[in-house]
Amino acid sequence: MSLTFERVGLRLGGSTILDDVSLALGDGEQAALIGPSGAGKSSLLLLANTVYRPSQGTVSILGQNPWRCAPHQLQSLQADIGTVYQAPPLPARQRVVNAVAAGRLGRQGTLASLLALLRPRDAAGVTQVLQRVDLADKLWARCDQLSGGQRQRVGIARVLYQAPRLMLADEPVSALDPRLAEETVKRLTDDARARGATLLMSLHSVDLALAHFPRIIGLQAGRILFDLPRAEVHDGLIQALYAGERLAEDDILPADAEPGFPRGVRC
């Protein structure tokens, strides 16, 4: 198994963020994580990439418990985990070529990593990856010169260049227009499939999740409401998953407004 959660709980600042979460993703499996804002999707992904440590239960990543690894083992494990963030942590003055090339720093020694930060050794390889996200012309641009959508695509290019065994993506297309969002989700799923990598992606758009993922995991209030094959996810389940968010929106809509799913959620 690439990723296993066994009755996992997470508490932060005295609040329960995740409660009794159990799931398993086999090698090469792809699943979409959906649910209302505040359901715990980002926190679940941060557990999966070792940023958070579970308050209870067990997390196994690529066959290892990260919190029982020696430092060199943990570094090796983290080099095989790639994360696409909604807002990529890109230094403002960093060049795009450096930002993308940093995807492989975890597989290099300290000296090689420092030299690569000064001058990447594989500008051609980085350019090829940037071409896949329509940013080849931004190779030497500074990250602070990019739009939000372009920064998000740089973060995606970084993970594609890294080529990890486990890919995690937290709302990776939130800043992209519908056409680019569709193409980007397909690009990530195709890349993972071609390499036999495992992919877990959180998405606000139910449409994108159902269109591109064979398995859908619905998270609500820190608990898994359902974990099903795409064909078994019906309108009633989606309505139940987003019920709280719909009520919150109804509170601020005019009385004669038509009911519907939360903004950005389509079924």
The full set of domains in the chain, from first to last, is: 1-80+176-267 (3.40.50.300), 89-163 (no CATH)
Q: Could you give phi then psi for residue 59, rounded to 5 degrees?
A: -115, 125
* Amino acid in position 194: A
Residue 182: CA count within 13 A, CB half-sphere: 4
Rounded mean pLDDT of 57-64?
97
pLDDT, tens digit (0-9, with 9 covering 90-100), for 167-209 = 999 999 988 899 999 999 999 999 999 999 999 999 999 999 9
Of 173, 200, 198, 199, nearest to 185 (Cα)? 173
**Whole-number percent of the chain with pLDDT over 90:** 78
Is 238 strand, coil or helix? helix
Q: Which helix (H) or strand (E) holds 224?
A: strand 223-229
Range scoring the smallest mean pLDDT among 102-116, 120-134, 214-228: 102-116
Alpha helices for 36-109 (secondary structure H): 41-48, 71-79, 96-101
